[in-house]
Amino acid sequence: MVASGYETLRVERTGPVGWLVFDRPEAANAMDARMMAELERAWRELDADPDVRVVVNTGAGRAFQTGLDLVQLSGDPAALREQARRTRDFALRFTAWHNEVWKPVIAAVNGVCAGGGLHFVADADVVIASSDATFLDPHVSVGQASVYETIALAKKSPMEPVLRMALVGSRERVDAARAYQLGIVSQVVDPPERLRDEAQALAEKIAQHPPDRLAATKRALWNALETP
């Protein structure tokens, strides 16, 4: 069953697993105004569907996710204003965490994950990556601060490598093997073509558990990040 009505995402089900796939491969899956609106809708749809026990989030093409599409947004003043407001008020709705999805979410990083793409790594419960995935945070190289994504990453993994990524900017990448050592991801899939199969298999293992226990566990653990 394929849900219709999305232009920038693919939202699908395979057994008990809901798939949320970034689908702007020609733009390295950067978030334009449409994708930001569609992300909120897709998370809500998958969250509301009782047949979906676990959600996998990945990208089509060579990139996982590369953050805001500033080219599109700069030509769309209304969308830019709305995004500015949401950013300033910390009222973002991109990720499962933003949308208070309490089903388990697996990010399956299929290629480059840059800048705002790190939101989806930081805010997932489980992260796996293809062996050719890379991580970088170019914000400071283009005159922007790196804040939400790296704060969440620093709460979940050793901080020094996160600070390094945030301060080095576009001039260095963390590869999948190092992300695995640091505990930013828990599984590296090689060859990379097997990523979706492995993500589905992992999601099916998780989906065997009672949904209410999974949700309660997820709430308890994320709430633990709310104290210093």
Determine, following the binding rule CB under 8 A, whether residue 134 of this chain makes contact with other proteins. Answer: no
Q: Does 221 bind other proteins (CB under 8 A)?
A: no
Distance CA 66, CA 112 (A): 7
Within 10 angstroms of residue 53's Cβ, the number of other Cβ atoms is 21
Task: Provide, rounded to whole angstroms, the least separation between the CB of residue 161 and other proteins.
Answer: 5
| DSSP class of 30 | -
Q: Which CB atom, from 168 or from 215, has the smaller least distance to other proteins? A: 168
Least distance in Å: CB of 80 to other proteins? 11
Select 84 or 216, whichever has its Cβ closest to other proteins: 84
Residue with tokens 């809708």: 41
How far CA 185 is from CA of 29, 92, 174, in Å, comes to 20, 24, 12
* Of the candidate residues 50, 77, 143, 210, the single one contacting other proteins (CB under 8 A): 143
* Dist. CA 98–CA 206, nearest whole Å: 22
- Tell me whether residue 104 or residue 161 sits nearer to other proteins (CB atom): 161
- Does residue 225 bind other proteins (CB under 8 A)? yes
Give all strands (DSSP E) within 126-221, no chain letters: 126-130, 134-136, 174-175, 187-189
Shortest distance, position 70 Cβ to other proteins, whole Å? 7
Based on CB atoms, which residue is closest to other proteins, 2 or 145? 145
Stretch that binds other proteins, among 23-31, 56-64, 157-165, 194-202 (CB under 8 A): 157-165
177 interacts with other proteins by CB under 8 A = no
Residues 22-51 that bind other proteins (CB under 8 A): none
Based on CB atoms, which residue is closest to other proteins, 88 or 205?
88
Nearest approach in angstroms of CB 171 to other proteins is 4
- Here the tokens at position 22 are 């970034």
Tally of residues, the chain: 228
The full DSSP string for 51-113 is T--EEEEEESSSEEE--B-HHHHHT-HHHHHHHHHHHHTT---SSTTTTT--S-EEEEE-SEE
Binding site for other proteins (CB under 8 A): 70, 84, 87-90, 139-148, 150-152, 154-155, 157-164, 166-169, 171-172, 181-183, 222, 225-228
